[in-house]
Amino acid sequence: MYWPTWLAWYKKPEYRNIKEYSNAISSGKRDYSPNRHGCAIPSQLRLDRVLGNKTCSPMSLFDFYMYLKHIEFSEENLEFYVCSQEERDSLGVSDNASSNASTLQMSTPPKTQPVEIDPDAAQRLVSQIARLLGAGTTCTSGTKCKLACLDDAESCESGGYKLPEHSSSEDTYRDQILAIAHTFLVPGAPKELNIPCNMRSRVLAAIQTSSHPSNLHPVADHVYQLLQHCSHRNFVRLGIANGTFETVCVATGLGTVLILAGFLTFFLLAFTPFRGFHSSWTVFAIWPMLWLGMSLVLSGLRGSCFFLLLFSRRQPLPWERFADAESGRLRRTGPLGFLSRLMIFDNKVRVKDIHLRRLQHKIVIQSLVGGAVFASLGVLLFIFLPVWRTS
C-alpha cells in the first residue's frame, strides 16, 4: 500500500562510525549497504545535490566539508573526490571511461615506485581544494538563499583563491595526477586515504604508466560509497538535530514532566477530595498537557528541539562554535558553558535550506498529530474508568 510522503513517519538515519565502517569495507568484512529506510534521507538532500552545490546552510557543501573536518576527521575523502572529479571534467572524461580503470582490480598488484611531484603542482592542488570546498561553495544561484551565496562568494574572493590554470600539455596533467597521488594515495601521505591495499597498489602502478584521470576512478568510486553510506548519513542526522544535546534533553525532559503532570492531575481529579466528587468529563483538562508533552518527546526522540523546529531555527553548528572559540567570543566552561548551550541563552540561526525546513515542518506536524492521538486515547481511557462512580 502506498502512503503519501507526509504520512510516512520520519526516522532519522542511524549513526555509523566512519573509521569502523571504512576499516570493515577495506578488510572485506562487510559490503556497502544502501539505506534500509527510503525516507531516512529525502531526495532533495541526497549526496549528489550536496556535491553539486544545490543545497543551502546548514546542508551546503561547505557545511559538509566542515563536518568531515571537525567532527569525523575524514575530510580527505571529500577532498580527493572533488579533485578527481575536477580532473575528469577538465578532460571531458565520461563515467564510462572508468571501465578501463576497473580492470585494474582484476590483475595482480604490481610493484610501485616512489612518486615524485612538482612542488608547483602540489601548491596548485592546495589552491584547488580551497577553491572547490571554500566558503564560496555554499550554494548555487539555483537555490533560494541567493543573499547568503553572494556574501560567501565575496568572502571567498577576498581569500585570494584562484582557479588553477590547466594547460593542454600532457606534462601538466601528469603533474596534477601525481600531486593527487602524493597527497592522498602514497603510504604515509599527508592526507592518506583509508582504502584497500590492493586497490592502492594497482592505482599507483597505473598512474606510473598513464596520467589519464580514469586511473583514479576505482578510488573515487570507493570514496563516494563511503561518503554516501556513512558520512552523508551522519551529516543529515546532525542537520536535523537543530539543537544542542543540552537543549534537546531539556525539551524532552519538559515533555516528560508535562506527561507526568497530566497523570498526576488525573489522580487528583479522581480521588480528591473524595472519589466521585468530580465529573468524568473534567479529565479533558489534562488533554493539553498530554498533547504538548508527547509532542516534545516525539520530536526529542528524533534529536530535534520542538520549539526550534516550529520556527525553522537552529543553534550554531559545532564548527561555527569552534570559530567563535578561536575568536575569543565563546570561552565558557562549567555551569556557564552548559547554560550557554541551551536554546534560551544561545544564538538562533534561521535554517536557509528550504528542503530541510520542509522536513522539519513535517517532523513538527507528525509530532503534533502523534501527541494529539496519545492525548485523545489517554483521555478516553480515563473517562471510562470506574473511578468516577461513588462506591
pLDDT given for residue 276 in this prediction: 80
Is the per-residue pLDDT at 147 higher than 70?
no
Phi-psi region at 88: left, alpha or beta (left = phi > 0; alpha = psi -120 to 50): alpha
Q: Which of the two residues, 37 and 355, has the higher pLDDT score?
A: 355
Question: Is 104 a member of any domain?
Answer: no
pLDDT given at position 318: 86
Share of the chain above pLDDT 70, in %: 73
- 260, 198: one domain: no
Q: Contact, 183 vs 203, CB < 8 A?
A: no
Distance of alpha carbon 78 from alpha carbon 224, whole angstroms:
8
Question: Mind listing the pLDDT tens digit for each residue in 303-353?
Answer: 888 888 888 889 888 888 776 544 444 455 555 555 555 555 567 888 999
Q: Residue 303: left (phi > 0), alpha (psi -120 to 50), or beta?
A: left
**Whether 139 contacts 145, CB under 8 Å:** yes
Rounded to 5 degrees, φ, ψ at 37 are -105, 115
Between CA 179 and CA 176 the distance in angstroms is 5
Q: Could you give the CA distance from residue 14 to residue 230 in angstroms, rounded to a whole number? A: 9
CB 13 within 8 A of CB 44: no
Q: What integer best gives the mean pLDDT of the chain?
A: 79
Q: Tell me: do 217 and 257 sit in the same domain.
A: no
Identify the pLDDT of residue 211.
Answer: 80
Note whether 358 and 295 are same-domain residues: yes
User: Residue 228: its pLDDT value, please?
Assistant: 93
205, 240, 275: which is the final residue of a domain? 240
Is the pLDDT reported for residue 152 higher than 60? Answer: no
- Please state the pTM of the whole predicted model: 0.80
Q: Is there a single domain that holds both residue 195 and residue 66?
A: yes
Residue 204 has pLDDT above 60, yes or no: yes
Judgement on whether residues 50 and 72 belong to the same structural domain of the protein: yes
> Is 159 part of a structural domain of the chain?
no
Domain that holds residue 82: 10-33+41-93+171-240
pLDDT of residue 370: 95
Dist. CA 90–CA 355, nearest whole Å? 31
Is the confidence at residue 116, as pLDDT, over 70?
no
Name the 3-class secondary structure at 350. strand
What CATH number is given to the structural domain containing 216?
1.10.167.10
**229 and 259: one domain?**
no
Higher pLDDT, 178 or 110: 178
What band does 11 get if pLDDT is binned at 50, 70 and 90?
Answer: confident
User: Which of these three, 205, 220, 240, is where a domain ends?
Assistant: 240
The answer to whether residue 186 sits within a structural domain is: yes
Q: How many structural domains does the chain have?
A: 2
Pick the last residue of a domain from 221, 240, 259.
240
Task: Read off the pLDDT band of 217 (50, 70, 90).
Answer: very high
**250 and 366 together in one domain:** yes
Whether 230 and 253 share a structural domain: no
Ramachandran angles phi, psi of 155, nearest 5°:
-65, -35
Q: Percentage helix, strand, coil, to 5, in the chain?
A: 65, 0, 35
Residue type, 286: I
pLDDT at site 233: 93
For residues 377 and 231, membership in a common domain is answered with: no
